[in-house]
Structure formats: structure tokens, C-alpha cells
Amino acid sequence: MTSKVQDLKEFLGSAGAIALVEVAGTRGSTPREKGAYMLVSPEAIYGTIGGGQLEYMAIDKARQMLGVPLKRGGKQVAAQRIDVREVCATLDVPLGPEIGQCCGGRVEVLIRLVDETRAAELVAAAEAEEDHLPHLYIFGGGHVGKALAASMSLLPVHVVVVESRAEELDGITDAVETRLTAMPEEMVREAPSGSAFAVLTHDHALDFLIAAEALKRTDTAYVGMIGSKTKKATFRNWFLKTAGGTEAEFERLVSPIGGDAVKDKRPPVIAALAAAEMMTALSLHQARAGAEVA
């Protein structure tokens, strides 16, 4: 499994001179929030502060601080090397027609050169953020499972694909964790509080067992199961009469995952719809948890 921390370390280790471009303050409507950042090297970019002219201006200033010649219209502009003592600069940018953006807000951007201390701070912050990512457990590495894993791997979520068949873990994106186990339901019990569970194995009986385990937990952000109305009704009957479940627990089940408004059963489409649904549930759960702590 690769991670965003690994990507950050690789960028810091291979890019040479780097400038940190950070959103230091915002007023009104802005593309990104305070604390969002990007790294700029002479040849590459890591991250984003929202794109558009705001970002282009920040990149130009960062590369100016790095002593990189700028280009305009494909032509190189004379190098604008600055005083070597300038290791920090601030841009106060109105997001209006002056720069071709219509957000209407204002952004203060802080640009600093990255030394070893600042690089270590960035890595430590990324590791702390990664340690607190919400977890999504995808049970089943079939076509929809693979597509869902690929979609969710782009989001701030720790994704775990759980399979009982080793061959189905082939082709899973390297950006997610994989677990091979003969008893997938045990992963439900071991999952951290606030986790989401997407159940889409090759076996309906196994789906039922995993979903029942997830629904009996009271601290989940989301429990979803792939299937039809008939499958959901069959699960309800089994869950209430055989598995000892309650109607209140059953009502927390999302099935089919991704909703039924779009009548398209292609795996990437199901995955896209389900990813939005799951990310919404995880975000709302985190917001509620944060409010309770506050």
C-alpha cells in the first residue's frame, strides 16, 4: 500500500529547492480553506491551493523566490532573482475580475522556502492527519469493489479491501490496504469507531453475515450492501428472525449502495455514486463527533 505521506516524502526528497505556498487567511468565498497548501519546486507541483489565477500567481512568486526564470507566452523572461534574505513573502489577493476569478472573496497566501526543519514539520503533520483518517472497509474485490476502491483512494479516507479469495486482490489499486481472511466479519469487529462498511462480496450469505455484524455496532458512519430490493427484503427477514437484529438496526442499512435514481449497473458508475454517498456519510459523522467533543 502506498500513501500520501510516502508521496510527500518522495517529493521533498527528490525536488531539490522547494517553496511552501500556504493559505494563511481567507475572507468571503474562496477556493480553499485556511491551512491548505502546495509545494512548488522549479519543475513540479505537489498539492493545490485551489487553482486558477490565484494559484498561478502564487507559483510564479514561489519560483521567483527559488530564482527560477519565468516564462510568458512561451518565451523566457529574464530571471527575477531576489535578495537571498527573502525567504518569506505574502500575497493578498482579491478574487475578482482583476485576476479573472469571480469567487468574490480574498485570500492571503504565505510563501516560505522549505528547509529541513519545515520539511520534517510537513511530514509530521501529514502523518498525524493520516493516522486520523476515517476508515472505509470494502468487503469484496470484484468489479464493483475494485472500482469503488479506486474511486475512494483519491479521497481523504483510509480504504481497506477485505477478501476471502486471494486472486480477487489482484488488480486492486496500490493506494489502498488489502486484507485476505477466511472470516471477513472479524474485520467488522476490529474496525475503529466511525468506520464505514460497504458489503459487496460474491456470496449473499456472506454479505448478510458481514452486514449484520456492522449493523449491530452503534458507532458506524455508514453500512451499505449492494443488491436489489428483493435482496434487501430477504436480508431483513433473516436479520430480524434469525440474526437477532432489530428494526431500528435494519433501518440504518443503505441498500442498494449508490441509490436507485440512476439506472446504470456498470461498476464504475455504481462506484462513483457510492463514493459520493459514503464520503457524505463519513463527513457528517466526523462533524457530529467534533460537535459533541466541542
Whichever domain contains 188, its CATH number is 3.40.50.720
Number of domains present in the structure of the chain = 2
Q: Contact 88/112 with Cβ under 8 angstroms?
A: yes
Question: Could you tell me if 274 and 142 lie in one domain?
Answer: yes
Question: Could you tell me if 278 and 156 lie in one domain?
Answer: yes
Q: Contact 226/253 with Cβ under 8 angstroms?
A: no
Question: Could you tell me if 57 and 155 lie in one domain?
Answer: no
Using CA atoms, how far residue 164 sits from 103, 137, 148, 182, in Å, is 49, 14, 18, 5
Instruction: Please say which residue of 96, 130, 164 terminates a domain.
Output: 130
Instruction: Please say which residue of 107, 130, 153 terminates a domain.
Output: 130
Q: Contact 188/213 with Cβ under 8 angstroms?
A: yes
Determine the structural domain holding residue 212 and report its residue range: 133-293
Could you tell me if residue 82 is left (phi over 0), alpha (psi between -120 and 50 degrees) or otherwise beta? beta
Instruction: Please say which residue of 95, 112, 130 terminates a domain.
Output: 130
Among the listed residues 180, 148, 128, 98, the one whose alpha carbon sits nearest the alpha carbon of residue 8: 128
Question: Could you tell me if 83 and 143 lie in one domain?
Answer: no
Grid cell locating 208: 448478510
CA-CA distance, 172 to 138, in Å (whole number)?
11
Question: Could you tell me if 105 and 181 lie in one domain?
Answer: no
Question: Could you tell me if 149 and 78 lie in one domain?
Answer: no
pLDDT at 84: 41
pLDDT tens per residue across all 294 residues of the chain? 778 899 999 999 987 899 999 999 999 988 999 999 999 999 999 999 988 889 999 999 999 999 887 665 555 554 444 444 467 899 988 887 777 667 778 899 999 999 999 999 999 999 999 999 999 999 999 999 999 999 999 999 999 999 999 999 999 999 999 999 999 999 999 999 999 999 999 999 999 999 999 999 999 999 999 999 999 999 999 999 999 999 999 999 999 999 988 989 999 999 999 999 999 999 999 998 878 766
Question: Could you tell me if 16 and 141 lie in one domain?
Answer: no
Sheet hosting strand 253-254, strand order edge to edge: 177-180, 158-163, 135-139, 196-199, 222-225, 253-254
Question: Could you tell me if 75 and 42 lie in one domain?
Answer: yes
Question: Could you tell me if 122 and 61 lie in one domain?
Answer: yes
Question: Could you tell me if 122 and 140 lie in one domain?
Answer: no
pLDDT at 85: 45
Question: Could you tell me if 137 and 126 lie in one domain?
Answer: no
Question: Could you tell me if 196 and 251 lie in one domain?
Answer: yes
pLDDT at 267: 96
Q: How many CB atoms lie within 10 A of CB 44?
A: 12
Q: Contact 64/80 with Cβ under 8 angstroms?
A: yes
